[in-house]
C-alpha cells in the first residue's frame, strides 16, 4: 500500500494492523512523532491524516491506503517556521519537547479549522495531549498568539541583551 | 549581568518545534537488537530455579542475561555517601517487589524478545509480604530485608535520623494544649512522557557507547562501570535531551543490563520500557507517614515539637537514607522551635524501590509542617499568618541541626504573601523584622532556650 | 513493537463485510481501532483473521420520519450535535481526536473495561430504546439493544436505529479531564409513545436499564432510590462501589428532573 508523508510518497510493507506510528518511526524513519504510551492516552504521537489530527498509535495502517500524512516535520523547517511553531518557540511552550510535536499538530489543525484565541476552545482542541513539564499555560498562550496572527509578537527578536535587564540589587554592574 | 531579565531563546527551541530534537529512541543504529525483561510477578518470593534454555534456543534470540553474568551484581549507588549496597542488579535467590528484574533478553525484534521472556521458566516460592510501613515495626511482621524491616546504617549504626534539642517533656508540661496531626502523602509517579530507554553500542575498541536518558550522566557512568567492573574510560555515555525526568531518571535503570546484553551478543542493543512498565516497575516518589505533636500556648507560641517520620523506601534502600536525611533538617520548617524531638525511619516494604522526585525528601515535610501550622492556627482561633510570624526564624536563631541563621527570610516572605493577597495584619506583625527577638516578644521560659545550640 | 500479521480482510461494501464476517468464528472486527490497537500492541490479543470495516460504507447517519439510523462505523464525533442523550454522552468520550476515530459500533460492542467502565454510548442507546441490526450465525437480525448487549460475541453490528425521543435527560459524575473514562452517568429518554426509559453507564460491566427507577419515573427522588435495586456496583480504578451507591440516586434524580424540564 502507499502512503504520502509530508508530501513524499512511500510504499509501505508493514502488515495492515501495524499502527501508523510504528510505520512512520520504524519502517519509514520519520521520527518527529513520538511514542509516549502506545495506548492513545498521551497525544505525543498525533499526526494529521488527511488534514485531521489522529493518534497514530491507534490507526491501523491498513485503513490508510493512499492517505496523506503530515507530521511536525511537514509543518515547517528551522529555516521557515510555521506561525504555530514560531509561536511555541517565542512563548517558551516547550521544555523537554517530547509532547511538542503532538501539541503542534493539534494546534495546527485547530487553527486551520478557524480556531480563535479563545482559551476554552484551545483547551478543548488540545485536551487529549499531556505535558508533564510546562503546566500547559505557555502552550495555550502560544496557540492564542498564533491564532491572533500577531506578526509583531511572532517576529519578536529574542537576541541576548536586546531588552534592558532587570536590576538586581547588589549585583556587579 | 546582561542576561538576567532578558528574553533568551532556548537553544533547543527550534529543534523542539520542528521535531528535530533527538531523544534516545530516535538514535537509530543498524543491526540493533531489542531487549525485554523477565520481571517478578510476586511482591515477595524466593527463586527456586531459573531455566533460560528455551529462551536461549529460540530463533532470533541473541543473548539472555541473568545475575550470573554480572561481574558485580550488588552495588549501592550511593556507597560514596555511606549507604551500603543491598540491591542486586538482577535478582539472585529472591525477589522483593513485583516487577523486580530477574533476566533480560536481546532478540532481533521486540516480539521475539517478549516471547523469549515468556519462555523462561521460573520456580517461585511465595513469601509473606509487607506493604504497610506502619506494620513494619510489629513483632510479628514478616522480615523482608536482610537488614531488618528498617534501615540500620546511619552514622554510628543508628537505625534512624534522630534530632534532639532542649527538653521536650518540659515543653509538653508547660503547654496549654497539644496539637496533633498525621500526614500521609501517597506515592507519586513521575510519568515522564518519554519512558526509560537506552541504546548501547559495543565498539571494536572494547568500549561501550551508551545513549541514555539518564538525568545524571557521570553518576550513571560510575554505576555502570562498577557493576561491569571496568575502568571509566571503557564507557562513553551520550546524553542529550531527556523527555522528562523529574528525578525518576537517576536510578540508572536500563544502562547496565542493556550493556551486558550488548557485550554478550556483540551487537547494539536498545531497551525501551512500555508505558505499563513505566507505571508498574519504575521507581516513584516515596509515600510518607508523618506524625506531629506540638506543645503550644493559647497565644500561639510553639514550645516544642515531637515528630515521627516513616519513609517508605520500597524493597531496597537506593537513595532513601539520603532523602530522609534531607527531610530531617526541615522538621521545624521556617520557624524556631526551642524544644524538638524528631525520629525518622527508612522503612522497607515489598514495593518498587522509591527514588528522588523534585524536592526529594523535603516536599513531604514542608507539606506536613505547613499544614500543621494552619491546623494550630485553626484550633487556637489565631490568624495563620500571625502564628507563623510569631514563631518565624530570626537572625541568630540556631536550627535543631545546629545551623546558625544569618539571613532567614520567613518574616519578609510571609508579610509579602499577606500583602499580595490583601490580608490585613495587625500593626506589630506588619512591622515585624527578622532581627533577633526582643525579650518582651518571648515568654520568659523560652528566652534561655532559643539560640541554644544544644 | 511489531503487530502480529493475521489475515486481513478489507471489504468494500456492506454485503462484502457480512459475507467476510460469516459466522464470526475466529474473526476480530477492526472498527475505529481505538480499543483494539493497544490490545494488539501490548500482545493481549493475537487475531487470526481481522475484518477491517473502514471501507464498508457503514459510516452513514440518516434521519427519516423521526427515525434515526446510525451506521456502525459512524464516528462518535458525528453524534456530538445530534439527538440527546446520545450527544452529551458522545461529547464526553475522550477528546476530539479519539472521538473522530472511535465508532458507534465499536463503543456499543466494547468489551467490559478492567479498570474503568467502557461503552459510554450503551446507556443512552438503552434509554432511547434503540435496536441493533447485526449479521452473524442465522443471518441478519434486528433486536433491542438490551438483548444485543447480553450476547453479541458472534454478531457483526451493522446499524443502530431509534426514534427521536420527545424529551431526554443526562447526568454524570464530572469528568476532571479528557483522559478520564465515565465514572457513572444516567441517561433518560421519553419515547414518542410516552414510555420513559432510564439507563446507567458505569454501574457494572456494561450499560444497564434501571426498570425499578422507570417504575417510579414520576417521582425523581423515589426513582433515584429505587435504581439501586437494578445494579451490582463495582470498585474500580475510578471510584468505589460505595461512591457509586451514593451517586447513582442523585444522577437518576437529576436526569429525570431534566426530562421534566425538557418536556414541551
Can you point out the beta strands (E) in chain A? Answer: 2-5, 8-11, 46-49, 52-55, 68-70
How far is it, in rounded angstroms, from Cα C241 to Cα C246? 9
pLDDT band at C1 (very low <50, low <70, confident <90, very high): very low
Q: How far apart are the first and last CA of chain A?
A: 65
How far is it, in rounded angstroms, from Cα B180 to Cα B195? 41
User: What are B208-263's pLDDT values in tens digits?
Assistant: 999 999 999 999 999 999 999 999 999 999 998 999 999 999 999 999 999 999 99
pLDDT number for residue A151 = 57
Instruction: Confirm or reject contact between B60 and chain C (CB < 8 A).
Output: no
In the block, residue with C-alpha cell 541473568: B66
Phi, psi of B257 (to 5 degrees): -65, -40
Instruction: Confirm or reject contact between B9 and chain A (CB < 8 A).
Output: yes
CB-based contact B107:B61 (threshold 8 Å): yes
Can you point out the beta strands (E) in A46-153? Answer: 46-49, 52-55, 68-70
Q: Do A165 and B5 touch (CB under 8 A)?
A: yes
Give the neighbours of chain C: at least 3 Cβ pairs within 8 Å: A, B
| CA-based nearest distance B74→chain C, Å | 32
Residues of A in contact with B6 (CB under 8 A): 160-163, 165
User: What are B387-424's pLDDT values in tens digits?
Assistant: 999 999 999 988 888 889 999 999 999 999 999 999 99
Among C239, C181, C180, C187, CA closest to C208 = C187
Mean pLDDT taken over chain B: 94
Instruction: Confirm or reject contact between B276 and chain C (CB < 8 A).
Output: yes
Instruction: Confirm or reject contact between A29 and chain B (CB < 8 A).
Output: yes
| CA-based nearest distance C148→chain A, Å | 26
**C-alpha pair distances (Å), B249 with each of A83, B16, B357:** 34, 20, 9
> Which residue segments constitute the domains of chain C, with CATH numbers given?
167-262 (3.30.390.50)
User: What are C130-175's pLDDT values in tens digits?
Assistant: 999 999 999 999 999 999 999 999 999 999 999 999 999 999 999 8
**Residue A156 pLDDT exceeds 80:** no
Residues of B in contact with A75 (CB under 8 A): 18
Measure the CA dihedral B362/B366/B372/B375, to 10°. -150
Helices A100-112 and A83-90, interaxial angle, to 10°? 130
How far is it, in rounded angstroms, from Cα B154 to Cα B311? 14
| CA-based nearest distance A130→chain B, Å | 8
pLDDT band at B151 (very low <50, low <70, confident <90, very high): very high
pLDDT band at C264 (very low <50, low <70, confident <90, very high): low
pLDDT band at A162 (very low <50, low <70, confident <90, very high): very low
Residue A45: closest C-alpha in chain B: B193
CB-based contact B289:B309 (threshold 8 Å): yes
CB-based contact B383:B377 (threshold 8 Å): yes
For residue A93, give the C-alpha cell.
511552550
pLDDT band at B4 (very low <50, low <70, confident <90, very high): confident
The residues, ordered by sequence, that sit 6+ positions from C54 with a Cβ below 8 Å of its Cβ are A62, A63, C10, C30, C73
pLDDT band at B445 (very low <50, low <70, confident <90, very high): low
**Window 23-82 of C, Cβ < 8 Å to B:** 42-43
How much is the CA Rg of chain B, to the nearest whole Å? 26
Instruction: Confirm or reject contact between B274 and chain C (CB < 8 A).
Output: yes
**C-alpha pair distances (Å), A154 with each of A100, A118, B426:** 18, 18, 48
Question: Beta B121-126 vs B302-314: how paired, if at all?
Answer: unpaired
Among B234, B245, B269, B257, CA closest to B23 = B245
CB-based contact B347:B149 (threshold 8 Å): yes
Measure the CA dihedral A61/A129/B16/B247, to 10°. -120
| CA-based nearest distance A170→chain B, Å | 11
Residues of B in contact with C43 (CB under 8 A): 111, 114
**C-alpha pair distances (Å), B448 with each of B196, B397, B407, B445:** 54, 12, 21, 7
Mean per-residue pLDDT for B27-50? 98
**Residue B121 pLDDT exceeds 50:** yes
Classify residue B135 by burial, with Cβ atoms within 10 Å: 0-12, 13-18, 19+. middle
In the block, residue with C-alpha cell 464526553: C92
**Residue A170 pLDDT exceeds 80:** no
pLDDT band at A159 (very low <50, low <70, confident <90, very high): very low
pLDDT number for residue C180 = 86
How far is it, in rounded angstroms, from Cα A98 to Cα B122? 38
User: What are A36-90's pLDDT values in tens digits?
Assistant: 999 999 999 999 999 999 999 999 999 998 999 999 999 999 999 999 999 999 9
Q: How far apart are the first and last CA of chain C?
A: 55
pLDDT number for residue B437 = 75
- Total length of chain B: 454
**What ipTM goes with this model?**
0.93
pLDDT number for residue C61 = 96
- On the CB side of A63, how many CA atoms lie within 13 Å of its CA? 28
Amino acid at each position: 500500500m502507499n502512503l504520502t508523508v509530508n508530501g513524499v510518497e512511500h510504499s509501505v510493507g508493514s502488515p495492515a494492523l501495524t499502527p501508523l506510528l510504528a510505520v512512520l518511526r520504524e519502517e519509514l524513519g520519520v521520527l518527529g512523532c513520538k511514542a509516549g504510551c502506545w495506548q492513545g492516552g498521551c497525544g505525543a504521537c498525533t499526526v494529521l491524516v488527511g488534514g485531521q489530527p489522529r493518534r497514530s498509535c491507534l490507526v491501523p495502517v491498513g485503513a490508510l491506503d493512499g492517505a496523506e500524512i503530515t507530521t511536525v516535520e511537514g509543518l515547517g523547517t528551522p529555516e521557515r517556521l510555521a506561525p504555530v511553531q514560531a509561536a511555541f518557540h517565542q512563548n517558551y511552550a516547550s521544555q523537554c519537547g517530547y509532547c511538542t510535536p503532538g501539541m503542534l499538530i493539534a494546534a495546527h489543525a485547530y487553527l486551520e479549522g478557524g480556531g480563535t484565541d479563545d482559551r476554552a476552545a484551545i483547551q478543548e482542541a488540545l485536551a487529549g495531549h499531556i505535558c508533564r513539564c510546562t503546566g500547559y499555560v505557555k502552550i495555550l498562550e502560544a496557540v492564542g498568539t498564533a491564532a491572533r496572527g500577531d506578526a509583531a509578537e511572532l517576529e519578536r527578536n529574542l537576541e541576548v541583551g536586546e531588552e534592558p535587564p532587570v536590576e538586581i540589587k547588589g549585583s556587579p554592574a | 549581568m546582561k542576561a538576567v531579565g532578558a528574553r533568551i531563546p532556548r537553544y533547543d527551541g527550534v529543534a523542539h518545534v520542528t521535531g528535530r530534537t533527538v531523544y534516545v529512541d530516535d538514535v537509530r543504529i543498524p543491526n540493533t537488537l531489542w531487549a525485554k525483561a523477565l520481571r517478578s510477578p510476586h511482591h515477595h518470593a524466593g527463586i527456586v530455579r531459573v531455566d533460560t534454555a528455551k529462551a536461549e534456543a529460540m530463533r532470533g534470540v541473541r543473548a539472555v542475561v541473568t545475575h550470573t553474568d554480572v561481574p558485580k551484581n550488588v552495588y549501592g549507588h550511593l556507597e560514596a555517601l555511606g549507604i551500603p549496597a543491598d540491591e542486586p542488579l538482577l535478582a539472585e535467590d529472591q525477589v522483593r517487589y513485583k516487577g523486580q528484574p530477574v533476566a533480560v533478553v536481546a532478540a532481533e525484534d521486540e516480539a521475539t524478545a517478549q516471547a523469549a521472556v515468556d519462555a523462561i521458566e521460573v520456580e517461585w516460592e511465595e513469601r509473606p509480604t509487607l506493604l504497610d510501613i506502619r506494620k513494619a515495626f510489629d513483632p510479628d511482621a514478616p522480615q523482608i530485608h536482610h537488614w531488618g524491616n528498617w534501615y540500620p546504617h546511619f552514622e554510628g549504626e543508628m537505625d534512624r535520623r534522630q534530632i534532639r534539642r532542649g527538653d521536650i517533656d518540659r515543653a509538653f508540661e508547660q503547654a496549654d494544649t497539644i496539637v496533633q496531626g498525621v500526614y500521609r502523602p501517597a506515592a507519586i509517579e513521575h510519568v515522564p512522557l518519554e519512558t526509560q530507554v537506552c541504546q548501547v553500542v559495543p565498539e571494536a575498541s572494547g568500549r561501550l557507547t551508551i545513549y541514555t536518558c539518564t538525568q545524571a550522566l557521570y553518576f550513571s557512568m560510575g554505576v555502570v562501570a562498577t557493576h561491569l567492573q571496568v575502568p571509566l574510560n571503557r564507557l562513553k555515555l551520550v546524553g542529550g535531551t531527556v523527555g522528562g525526568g523529574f528525578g525518576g531518571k537517576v536510578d540508572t535503570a536500563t544502562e547496565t543490563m542493556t550493556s551486558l546484553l550488548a557485550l554478550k551478543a556483540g551487537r547494539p542493543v536498545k531497551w525501551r520500557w512500555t508505558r505499563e512498565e513505566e507505571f508498574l516497575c519504575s521507581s516513584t516518589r516515596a509515600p510518607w507517614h508523618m506524625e506531629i505533636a506540638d506543645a503550644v500556648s493559647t497565644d500561639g507560641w510553639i514550645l516544642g515539637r515531637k515528630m515521627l517520620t516513616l519513609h517508605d523506601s520500597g524493597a531496597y534502600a537506593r537513595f532513601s537514607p539520603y532523602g530522609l536525611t534531607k527531610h530531617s533538617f526541615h522538621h521545624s520548617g521556617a520557624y524556631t522551635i526551642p524544644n524538638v524531638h524528631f525520629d525518622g525511619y527508612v522503612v522497607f516494604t515489598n514495593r518498587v524501590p522509591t527514588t528522588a522526585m523534585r524536592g526529594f525528601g523535603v516536599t513531604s515535610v514542608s507539606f506536613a509542617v505547613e499544614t500543621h501550622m494552619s491546623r494550630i492556627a485553626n484550633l487556637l482561633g489565631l490568624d495563620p499568618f500571625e502564628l507563623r510570624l510569631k514563631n518565624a526564624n530570626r537572625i541568630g536563631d540556631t536550627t535543631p541541626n545546629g545551623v546558625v541563621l544569618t539571613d532567614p527570610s520567613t518574616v519578609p516572605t510571609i508579610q509579602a504573601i499577606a500583602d499580595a493577597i490583601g490580608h490585613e495584619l495587625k500593626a506589630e506583625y506588619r512591622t515585624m523584622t527578622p532581627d533577633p527577638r526582643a525579650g518582651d516578644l518571648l515568654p520568659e521560659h523560652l528566652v534561655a532556650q532559643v539560640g541554644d545550640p544544644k | 513493537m511489531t503487530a502480529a500479521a493475521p489475515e486481513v480482510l478489507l471489504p468494500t461494501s456492506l454485503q462484502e463485510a457480512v459475507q467476510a464476517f460469516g459466522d464470526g468464528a475466529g474473526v476480530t472486527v477492526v472498527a475505529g481501532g481505538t480499543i483494539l490497537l493497544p490490545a494488539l500492541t501490548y500482545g493481549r490479543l493475537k487475531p487470526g483473521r481481522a475484518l477491517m470495516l473502514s471501507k464498508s460504507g457503514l459510516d452513514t447517519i440518516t434521519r427519516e420520519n423521526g427515525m434515526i439510523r446510525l451506521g456502525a462505523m459512524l464516528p462518535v464525533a458525528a453524534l456530538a450535535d445530534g439527538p440527546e442523550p446520545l450527544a452529551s454522552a458522545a461529547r464526553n468520550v475522550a477528546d476530539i481526536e479519539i472521538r473522530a476515530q472511535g465508532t458507534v459500533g465499536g463503543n456499543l460492542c466494547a468489551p467490559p473495561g478492567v479498570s474503568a467502565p467502557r461503552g459510554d454510548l450503551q446507556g443512552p442507546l438503552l434509554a432511547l430504546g434503540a435496536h441493533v441490526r447485526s449479521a452473524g450465525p442465522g443471518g441478519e437480525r434486528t433486536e433491542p439493544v438490551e438483548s444485543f448487549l447480553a450476547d453479541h460475541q458472534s454478531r457483526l453490528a451493522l446499524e443502530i436505529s431509534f426514534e427521536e425521543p420527545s424529551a431526554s435527560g443526562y447526568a454524570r459524575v464530572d469528568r476532571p479531564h479528557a483522559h478520564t473514562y465515565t465514572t457513572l452517568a444516567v441517561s433518560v429518554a421519553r419515547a414518542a409513545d410516552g414510555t420513559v426509559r432510564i439507563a446507567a453507564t458505569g454501574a457494572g460491566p456494561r450499560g444497564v436499564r434501571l426498570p425499578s427507577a422507570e417504575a417510579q419515573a414520576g417521582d425523581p427522588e423515589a426513582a433515584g432510590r429505587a435504581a439501586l435495586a437494578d445494579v451490582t456496583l463495582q470498585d474500580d480504578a475510578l471510584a468505589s462501589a460505595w461512591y457509586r451507591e451514593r451517586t447513582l440516586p442523585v444522577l437518576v434524580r437529576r436526569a429525570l428532573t431534566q426530562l421534566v424540564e425538557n418536556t414541551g
